[in-house]
């Protein structure tokens, strides 16, 4: 997910993991970098906000999460756009405080783009 502080990236994730059958409350992994949840599929939640470099994320085994058996959600994904796989779906959230939110969902590869954007 991409968006400023306070736009609702973690809130979006909470709804997503609930839909995947995760019963625990998802929290932002800002200080641990990666949270893992178990539902119908494994969910890997990464937060790139505090990362210093792309190398730091690669050293964590980022590619294993992207090409593994579950769903990987990255907050602050704009910090690692060059590393996102072609099958990634990018969610951009805008709007702060009491403002309405605008959520844009885009596929990086044309064959996975939502029907409304084709």
Distance of alpha carbon 10 from alpha carbon 14, whole angstroms:
6
Output the six-digit token pair for 21.
């059958």
Q: What is the per-residue pLDDT for 118?
A: 44
Distance of alpha carbon 56 from alpha carbon 83, whole angstroms:
12
**Per-residue pLDDT at 115 exceeds 70:** no
Q: What is the pLDDT of residues 1-56, one digit of tens each?
A: 788 888 888 899 999 999 999 999 888 876 777 889 999 999 999 888 877 777 87
Contact (Cβ atoms closer than 8 angstroms) between residue 38 and residue 70: no
Q: Which domains does the chain have, with CATH numbers?
A: 9-117 (3.40.50.300)
Q: What is the per-residue pLDDT for 47?
A: 84
pLDDT band at 114 (very low <50, low <70, confident <90, very high): low
Distance of alpha carbon 46 from alpha carbon 16, whole angstroms:
14
State the burial class of residue 47 (Cβ atoms within 10 Å of its Cβ: 0-12, 13-18, 19+).
buried
pTM, rounded to two decimals: 0.79
């Amino acid at each position: 997910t991409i968006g400023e502080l306070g736009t609702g990236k973690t809130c979006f994730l909470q709804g997503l993991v609930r839909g995947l059958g995760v019963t625990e409350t998802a929290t932002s992994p800002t200080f641990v970098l990666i949270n893992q949840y178990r539902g119908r599929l494994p969910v890997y939640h990464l937060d790139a906000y505090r990362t210093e470099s792309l190398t730091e994320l690669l050293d964590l085994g980022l590619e294993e999460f992207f090409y593994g058996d579950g769903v990987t959600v990255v907050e602050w994904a704009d910090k690692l756009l060059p590393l996102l796989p072609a099958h990634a779906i990018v969610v951009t959230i805008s709007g702060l405080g009491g403002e309405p939110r605008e959520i844009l969902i885009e596929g990086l590869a044309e064959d996975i783009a939502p029907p409304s954007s084709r």
